């Protein structure tokens, strides 16, 4: 009734309508399973009792994720259960549709807000109105992240009044897949596709199908893609001009007799055939093979041939076999056997050879030499010789040479005499095989301390200075014999005559006294001046200064490390320090010729505070000193003064150091100690 085009259009429209309806029906389901509820004290939320029967039903509200849960519409859906029990009970799946189903028709956002309310029902079968807050038993509100999956998420909420145990999950609806249930995939096996769906909602083709929607069949394995095709799986349909199971063989030209093809409708003649249809015989030998018995055939044209026979055959086609035994080639009664390429003679006993021309020896012929014993074998038709010691060979004709293995080492010569062999060794070697070297130095041939070096057949001596000869026996050599000392110097030899020493006169010098001495008058110090004592004193002072420098550097490093901690502690205990620090005006200097210099600068600063003269009157008002100290504490430069020790300088630049010693806070007076040291150095210690 309908045309084919209208039929296909209708099917496509129906398919699209099905897809639309499926999307509208929902893409997933939020499932809630109530497991256990316990109203411990049989009370409502407002504190009133629900006895004698605390019948409970539940209202479930699912909405979008809220940071602060507020009342309002259940945007994801809501469910009202029947009465499930009284006071404390466990919810069975058979009691109602448990788990509770809350379907949604949108992409699952991954987060939600769930409100579970337990209400008191006045009747057994019909729940009461949920708008009356006086009938509310308990309310549970949770907000959480939840991914799509089949695993249940267990949860428990409870207080002193009511406890609720439940679990929930999100699963995709049928034909929906993916992390958010947003992928639609419907398995099918029809003209529009042949596939199932994987976990992500992607089509997975059935065996034998391929393509985006699995609409393309997979042809027979091995089917040529260029020359074949298929309409169903495991099929191979050949295109015109091709044939075979896999459509890989071309179709020859119609009527081609003895030809092949490399492309459709071709006829290429094989060897020996010609013509358009390859039906003319050009090679009689190849096609008919007339020559026999392995003969070689040669075409001579026009269907004729010639056969070249192998030895032992004759005839036009080499069909006749020639017997070479007809000439009786075997002697001494041997029998002839015809072979393919010759003949063979089978000899009688005691004869051998290709034509049985040799007579075989036996023990009766005494074949063994050099006293060898003959043994008969093969029933007397052959023999074997047992050779005496020193001989070998099939007839004991060869003498054994035991020196052929060259047993002698280091150039030794081997001799084989009788039943023994021995080695004659070269000079310097010994042993049965000349394997040991003789050490010529064992006899200590070198005299006068010479070192001996062993060689293969000799030795050599390394002589000490002054000695010579093969064994260092010549010497010693006198170096003073040639008179090396000049200008009247006397010569004396060192031990063993190795070196000499010249003793020169006062006016000459040098190794051989060859240079005159030039005298320059040198002013002499006054007699009795203590130069040695002065040198030792200077050295001692330099040593003490070096040690003091090391101490100052170490103390400076220590103060730099503790500077941060001291400053912080000073700020925290400023009141305490103000009570205990002594101003410079109150320090007492016992050396009245000295002035007190306070160096408030750091090592890299060129600034120095002006010298302050110590007040020698310790009864000066302490209050004025404390006021000065408060000003010093407020000055950053004076804080630096605390880091560097105070120094006393006089006209002679004598150095003094000031040290502070802590004392109880309630002390009214501060003690000042001036400690004198060597190098006119004094140390002032202040007790704080």
Strand partners, 468: 474
173-182, 217-226, 676-685 — which is least confidently predicted?
A: 676-685
pLDDT given at position 128: 62
Q: Which residue has the higher pLDDT, 624 or 419?
A: 419
Confidence of residue 645 (pLDDT cuts 50, 70, 90): very low
Q: What is the pLDDT, as a whole number, of residue 667?
A: 37
Count the neighbouring beta carbons within 10 Å of the beta carbon of residue 223: 21
Separation between Cα atoms, residue 343 and residue 320, nearest integer Å:
17
Cα 594 to Cα 79: distance, rounded to the nearest angstrom: 102
CA distance 622 to 670: 10
Confidence at residue 243, expressed as pLDDT on a 0 to 100 scale? 92
Whether the per-residue pLDDT at 657 is higher than 60: the answer is no
Q: 304 near 316, Cβ under 8 Å? A: no
pLDDT of residue 92: 79
Task: Mark 74-100 as b/e (b = at least 16 C-beta within 10 Å).
Answer: bebbbeebebbbbbeeebeeeeeebbb
Confidence band (pLDDT; 50, 70, 90) for 525?
A: low
Token pair 């050490």 is found at 439
642 pLDDT more than 50: no
* pLDDT level of residue 534 (50, 70, 90 thresholds): confident
Residue 389 or residue 461, greater confidence: 461
Q: How far apart are the C-alpha atoms of 399 and 393, rounded to whole Å?
A: 8
- 94-136: pLDDT as tens digits: 667 788 999 998 889 999 999 999 998 887 766 666 788 888 8
Q: pLDDT value at position 250?
A: 93
Give the Cα separation of 345 and 352 in Å (integer). Answer: 9
Instruction: Out of 4-18, 275-289, 336-350, pick the least confident.
Output: 4-18
Q: What integer pLDDT is reported at residue 238 of this predicted model? A: 94
pLDDT bracket for residue 418 (50, 70, 90) = low
Reported as a pLDDT band with limits 50, 70 and 90, residue 417 is confident
CA distance 341 to 345: 14
Confidence class of residue 523 from pLDDT cuts 50, 70 and 90?
A: low
| pLDDT for residue 608 | 38
pLDDT (0 to 100) of residue 627: 36
What average pLDDT score do residues 216-244 get?
A: 91
pTM: 0.34
pLDDT of residue 628: 44
pLDDT at 527: 53
pLDDT, tens digit (0-9, with 9 covering 90-100), for 565-577: 554 544 444 443 3
Residues 6+ apart with CB under 8 A from 48: 134
pLDDT (tens digit per residue) in 585-602? 443 433 433 333 333 333
pLDDT over threshold 70, residue 663: no
What was the pLDDT predicted at 549?
A: 92
Question: Higher pLDDT residue, 10 or 654?
Answer: 10
Give the per-residue pLDDT at 481. 73
pLDDT at residue number 640: 38
When pLDDT is cut at 50, 70 and 90, the band that residue 40 belongs to is confident
Average pLDDT over residues 265-282: 84
- Four-CA torsion 17, 18, 21, 26, nearest 10 degrees: -150
**520: confidence class by pLDDT, cuts 50, 70, 90:** low
Q: Tell me: the pLDDT tens digits for 460-485?
A: 999 987 788 888 988 777 778 778 89
How far, in Å, CA of 8 to CA of 127, rounded? 54
Is the pLDDT at 72 greater than 90? The verdict is no
Q: Is 46 exposed, middle or buried (0-12, 13-18, 19+ CB in 10 A)?
A: exposed
Percent of the chain with pLDDT over 70: 73
Structural domains for the chain: 25-184 (2.60.40.3510), 285-321 (2.10.25.10), 363-399 (2.10.25.10)
User: Which regions of 513-636 does DSSP assign to beta strands (E)?
Assistant: 515-516, 595-597
Highest mean pLDDT among 56-70, 290-304, 413-427: 56-70
Buried b (16+ CB within 10 A) or exposed e, 591-623: eeebbbbbbbeeeeeeeeeeeeebbeeeeeeee
Residue 619 has pLDDT above 60, yes or no: no
Please state, in angstroms and as integers, the Cα–Cα distance from residue 316 to each residue in 37, 312, 324, 341, following that order.
Answer: 116, 14, 20, 19
Cα separation of 688 and 682, whole Å?
A: 19
**Between 324 and 616, residue with greater pLDDT:** 324
For residue 25, pLDDT beyond 90: no
Give the pLDDT confidence score for residue 272 in this predicted structure: 74
Q: What is the pLDDT of residue 400?
A: 79
| 3-class SS of residue 229 | strand
pLDDT average, residue stretch 453-458 = 78
Could you report the per-residue pLDDT of 159-183, keeping only the tens digit for each?
888 899 999 999 998 889 888 888 8
Q: Count Cα neighbours of 605 within 13 Å in the Cβ-side half-sphere.
A: 11
pLDDT value of residue 142: 92
Is residue 12 packed enough to be buried (19+ CB in 10 Å), middle (13-18) or exposed (0-12)? exposed
Q: Tell me the C-alpha distance between 612 and 616, whole Å.
A: 12
Question: What rounded mean pLDDT belongs to the chain?
Answer: 75
> Residue 528: pLDDT above 50?
yes
- Residue 501 pLDDT grade (very low, low, confident, very high; cuts 50, 70, 90): confident
Mean pLDDT in residue range 528-533: 74
Model pLDDT, residue 618: 33
Per-residue pLDDT, 529: 66
Q: How many residues does the chain have?
A: 688
Residue 127: per-residue pLDDT: 66
């Amino acid at each position: 009734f309908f045309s084919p085009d209208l039929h296909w259009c209708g099917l496509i429209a129906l398919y699209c309508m099905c897809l639309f309806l499926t999307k509208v029906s929902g893409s997933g389901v939020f499932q809630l399973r109530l497991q256990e509820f316990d109203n411990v004290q049989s009370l409502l939320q407002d504190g009133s009792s629900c006895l004698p029967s605390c019948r409970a039903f539940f209202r479930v509200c699912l909405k979008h994720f809220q940071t602060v849960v507020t009342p309002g519409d259940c945007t994801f859906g809501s469910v009202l259960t029947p009465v499930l029990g009284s006071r404390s009970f466990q919810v069975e799946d058979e009691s109602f549709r448990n788990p509770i189903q809350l379907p949604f028709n949108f992409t699952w956002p991954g987060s939600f807000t769930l409100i579970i309310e337990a209400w008191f029902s006045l009747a057994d079968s019909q729940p009461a109105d949920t708008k009356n807050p006086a009938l509310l038993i308990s309310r549970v509100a949770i907000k959480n992240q939840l991914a799509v999956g089949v695993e249940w998420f267990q949860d428990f909420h409870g207080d002193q009044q009511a406890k609720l145990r439940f679990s929930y999950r999100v699963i995709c609806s049928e034909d929906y897949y993916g992390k958010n249930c947003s992928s639609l995939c419907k398995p099918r096996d029809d003209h529009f596709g042949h596939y199932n769906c994987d976990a992500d909602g992607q089509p997975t083709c059935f065996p034998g199908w391929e393509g985006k929607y699995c609409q393309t069949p997979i042809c027979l394995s091995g089917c040529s893609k260029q020359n074949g095709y298929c309409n169903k799986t495991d099929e191979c349909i050949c295109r015109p001009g091709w044939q075979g199971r896999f459509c890989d063989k071309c179709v020859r030209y119609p009527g081609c007799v003895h030809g092949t093809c490399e492309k459709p409708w071709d006829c290429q003649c094989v060897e020996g055939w010609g013509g358009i249809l390859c039906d003319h015989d050009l090679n009689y030998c190849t096609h008919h093979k007339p020559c026999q018995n392995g003969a070689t055939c040669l075409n001579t044209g026009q269907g004729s041939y010639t056969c070249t026979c192998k030895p032992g055959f004759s005839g036009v086609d080499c069909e006749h076999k020639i017997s070479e035994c007809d000439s009786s080639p075997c002697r001494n009664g041997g029998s002839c056997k015809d072979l393919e390429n010759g003949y063979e003679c089978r000899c009688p006993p005691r004869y051998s050879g290709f034509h049985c021309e040799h007579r075989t020896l036996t023990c009766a012929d005494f074949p063994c030499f050099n006293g060898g014993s003959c043994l008969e074998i093969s029933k007397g038709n052959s023999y074997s010789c047992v050779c005496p010691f020193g001989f070998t060979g099939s007839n004991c004709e060869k003498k054994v040479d035991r020196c052929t293995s060259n047993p002698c080492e280091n150039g030794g010569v081997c001799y084989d005499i009788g039943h023994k062999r021995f080695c004659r060794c070269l000079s310097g070697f010994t042993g049965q095989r000349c394997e040991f070297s003789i050490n010529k130095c064992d006899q200590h041939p070198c005299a006068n301390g010479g070192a001996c070096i062993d060689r293969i057949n000799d030795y050599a001596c390394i002589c000490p200075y002054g000695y010579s000869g093969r064994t260092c026996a010549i010497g010693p050599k006198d170096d003073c014999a040639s008179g090396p000392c000049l200008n009247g110097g006397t010569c004396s030899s060192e031990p063993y005559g190795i070196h000499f020493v010249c003793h020169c006169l006062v006016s000459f010098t040098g190794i051989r006294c060859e240079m005159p001495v030039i005298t320059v008058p040198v002013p002499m110090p006054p007699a009795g001046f203590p130069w040695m004592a002065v040198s030792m004193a200077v050295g001692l002072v330099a040593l003490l200064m070096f040690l003091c420098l090391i101490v100052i550097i170490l103390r400076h490093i220590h103060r730099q490390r503790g500077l941060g901690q001291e400053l912080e502690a000073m700020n925290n205990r400023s009141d305490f320090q103000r009570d205990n620090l002594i101003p410079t005006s109150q320090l007492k200097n016992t050396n009245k010729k000295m002035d007190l210099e306070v160096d408030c600068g750091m090592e890299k600063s060129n600034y120095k505070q002006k010298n302050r003269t110590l007040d020698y009157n310790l009864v000066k008002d302490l209050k004025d000193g404390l006021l000065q100290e408060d000003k010093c504490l407020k000055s950053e430069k004076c804080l630096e003064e605390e880091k560097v020790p105070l120094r006393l300088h006089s006209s002679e630049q004598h150095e003094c150091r000031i040290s502070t010693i802590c004392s109880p806070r309630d002390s009214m007076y501060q003690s000042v100690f001036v400690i004198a040291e060597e190098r006119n150095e004094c140390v002032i210690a202040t007790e704080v």
